[in-house]
Structure 1
């Protein structure tokens, strides 16, 4: 590298430090602007704990065996309670699709399933957090600005 390159690099580094010191941080705002329509959102501390607890599931099937309300569950919506823990909640942008499975899951005795779970998955809290986030995600998608046109679409200036 030439001395001029080092000077330019040093100058841009200094400008960046000064900008960080005196200008407001826009990282989270820019993230929301860029990815809000895709359904990526921040989680509160309590929600982070609930989502982290899902990884403890060992897929033993005890919750499925003791669900107790399979006669009233639409099988095209939810096969078993373990589906919500193992599959439906894994993708944050898809949580708005959880509304129907959660309605089916709430028909069962969640407290009983929690007591029987060897991994101690807080299923009632999972349902509560997932429902709250699904509703927030639906509202956010409705209020989000329209997406940019696809690059393969032709633009007609008028």
Structure 2
């Protein structure tokens, strides 16, 4: 009996509901479903930056020439190697690193970028992270702040 009622609902009520309240599609539907969690669409430019960040082998050479080590609070920033290894991996977690990302000065990573054995574009990555954080805030709804 319950199964028949459910099928009746799906056959009659649901189509009428769709007529009067059409579903969002594409990017709007994605943002409605996943935006509150901090997930944003990943355009091809983001995919290219993620591939570049993925080249990091965690050697630590860039940290020795980090122009911002000591300028950003140590509890939120432990060196430029965090950019490709931690911050670039998930837009959901960017809000937790907000203080460090907002304090980034990309041009101060030129020396660190020059010693990277795999050619991770640290300056470009810092600019991209700042942009991605702003997109998470705008498209992802309310800024959840640090937990």
2:101 alignment partner in structure 1: 102
User: Of Structure 1 and Structure 2, which has the larger fraction of its residues in helix?
Assistant: 1
Q: Give the aligned CA root-mean-square deviation in angstroms.
A: 2.6
**Deviations 1:61-102, CA, capped at 9 Å, x for gaps:** 000111144343321120111122211222121223333223
SS of the equivalent of 1:78 reads coil
- Segments of structure 1 that go 5 or more residues without pairing to the other structure are 1-24, 145-158
**CA distance in structure 2 between the partners assigned to 1:74 and 1:108 by the alignment:** 19
TM-score (norm 2): 0.69
Please, what TM-score do these two structures have when normalized by structure 1?
0.65
Which has the greater radius of gyration?
1
The CA deviation string for residues 26-61 of structure 1, in whole angstroms up to 9 with x for no partner, is 354433221111111112222211111111100000
Mapped partners of 1:92, 1:67: distance in 2: 23
Instruction: Flag the 1:122–1:39 CA change in 2: closer, same or farther, 3 A.
Output: same
How far apart, in 2, do the equivalents of 1:120 and 1:77 lie?
25
Structure 1's 60 and 28: CA in aligned 2 closer, same or farther, altered over 3 A? same
Task: Determine the structure 2 residue equivalent to 1:72.
Answer: 71
Contact 1:38 1:93 in 2 (8 A): yes
Number of aligned residue pairs: 121
The change in CA–CA distance for 1:31 and 1:73 in structure 2 (over 3 A counts) is closer
Consecutive unaligned residues in structure 2, runs of 5 or more: 1-23
